[in-house]
């Protein structure tokens, strides 16, 4: 279905940590309106890639283009203003604060009157199943709703590109289904482009238009979910038989 203009392009992206090259010669494109899956074994470099494209880490080499602009080495602020917002794999919530205050954080880089901010909070809370939980302390939410809250915070920033780092971890079957429905709705009715890092390969194959596979920091394969599922190198390195 999807596959518009290129909205994000990484060229020969590289990131070293001392003697370790976590991301190496990684070239990929994200196209407007697609859901792109990024999978690979633990330590393959997926979260590092998120840190690079969102400005949390500077690349050791290569270039990044966001909407045609060279954003190599740009700050998180510049990148989020250009519409790319990411969630974190771990601890992205202020667990002592209420759901509403957590979501409000997502709105802070926008100039908005308080009432507009609260409208945004209610809108994203209702999309993520949090409408009835606004006053709950985030750390007291059930795990599934804590995962949805991380997404709600990201959505409150009104992203055009949403990068989700393992959003389905620990979700129950029905919650996985609801999350995938949300992703699809964000794409179809809100026009978002989504980059999804996820260990739940079945969910990735169901949700994504295209999948890229990282292994030891390098691109191993790229293609439709069907093609990637059948790729011998991917089966060998990651999927197993
Ligand atoms: P993934 O998300 O695919 O599991 P990561 O991107 O988290 O993989 O990690 C890739 C590799 O880079 C791992 O070997 C990890 O230990 C290393 N790494 C990640 N972040 C840092 C860091 N800040 N300092 C040193 N090594 C890191
Ligand atoms: Mg990771």
Q: What is the DSSP string of 153-205?
A: HHHHT--SEEEEESTTTT--HHHHHHHHHHHHHHHHHH--EEEEE-S-HHHHH
Reported as a pLDDT band with limits 50, 70 and 90, residue 140 is very high
In the predicted model, is pLDDT for residue 3 greater than 70? no
pLDDT digits 0-9 by tens, 64-90: 999 999 999 999 999 999 999 999 888
- pLDDT (average), residues 128-133: 97
C-beta 169 within 6 A of ligand 1:
no
pLDDT digits 0-9 by tens, 158-210: 999 999 999 999 999 899 999 999 999 999 999 999 999 999 999 999 999 99
Q: What is the number of the ligand closest to the CA of 89? A: 2
Q: For a pLDDT cut of 70, what percent of the chain falls above it? A: 98
Please state, rounded to an integer, the average pLDDT across all residues of the chain.
95
Which domains, and CATH codes, for the chain?
Answer: 1-83+159-241 (3.40.50.300), 91-158 (no CATH)
pLDDT digits 0-9 by tens, 35-68: 999 999 999 999 999 999 999 999 999 999 999 9
H or E element in which residue 37 lies: strand 35-39
The minimum-distance atom of ligand 1 relative to the CA of 45 is: 6
Instruction: Compute how many other C-beta atoms are within 10 angstroms of the C-beta atom of residue 34.
Output: 21
For 40, the 3-state DSSP assignment is coil
C-beta 80 within 6 A of ligand 1:
no
In the predicted model, is pLDDT for residue 1 greater than 60? no
Handedness of CA 196, 201, 205, 210 (dihedral sign): positive
The minimum-distance atom of ligand 1 relative to the CA of 48 is: 6
- pLDDT (average), residues 90-114: 90
Q: What is the number of the ligand closest to the CA of 18? A: 1
Its pTM stands at: 0.95
Cα gap 64→78, rounded to integer Å: 13
Q: DSSP label at 207?
A: H
> ipTM of the assembly?
0.98
Best residue among 15, 19, 48 to mutate for probing ligand 1's pocket (most ligand atoms within 8 Å of CB) is 48
């Amino acid at each position: 279905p999807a596959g518009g203009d290129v909205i994000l392009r990484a060229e020969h992206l590289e990131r070293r940590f001392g003697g370790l090259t976590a991301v190496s010669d990684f070239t990929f494109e994200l196209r407007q309106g697609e859901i792109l899956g990024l999978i690979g074994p633990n330590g393959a470099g997926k979260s590092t890639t998120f840190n690079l494209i969102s400005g949390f880490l500077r690349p050791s080499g290569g270039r990044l283009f966001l909407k045609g602009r060279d954003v190599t080495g740009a700050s998180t602020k510049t990148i989020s203003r250009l519409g790319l917002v990411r969630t974190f794999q771990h601890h992205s919530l202020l667990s002592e604060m209420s759901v509403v205050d957590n979501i409000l954080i997502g709105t802070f880089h926008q100039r908005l009157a308080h009432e507009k901010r609260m409208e945004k909070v209610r809108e994203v809370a209702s999309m993520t199943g949090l409408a009835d939980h606004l006053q709950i302390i985030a750390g007291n939410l059930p795990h599934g709703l804590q995962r949805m809250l991380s997404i709600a915070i990201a959505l409150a920033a009104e992203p055009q590109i949403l990068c989700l780092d393992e959003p389905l971890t620990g979700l129950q079957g029905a919650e996985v289904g609801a999350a995938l429905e949300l992703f699809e709705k964000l794409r179809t009715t809100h026009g978002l482009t989504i980059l999804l890092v996820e260990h739940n390969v079945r969910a990735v194959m169901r949700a994504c238009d295209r999948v890229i596979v990282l292994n030891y920091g390098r691109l191993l394969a790229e293609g439709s979910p069907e093609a990637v599922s059948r790729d011998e190198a991917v089966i060998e390195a990651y999927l197993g038989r």
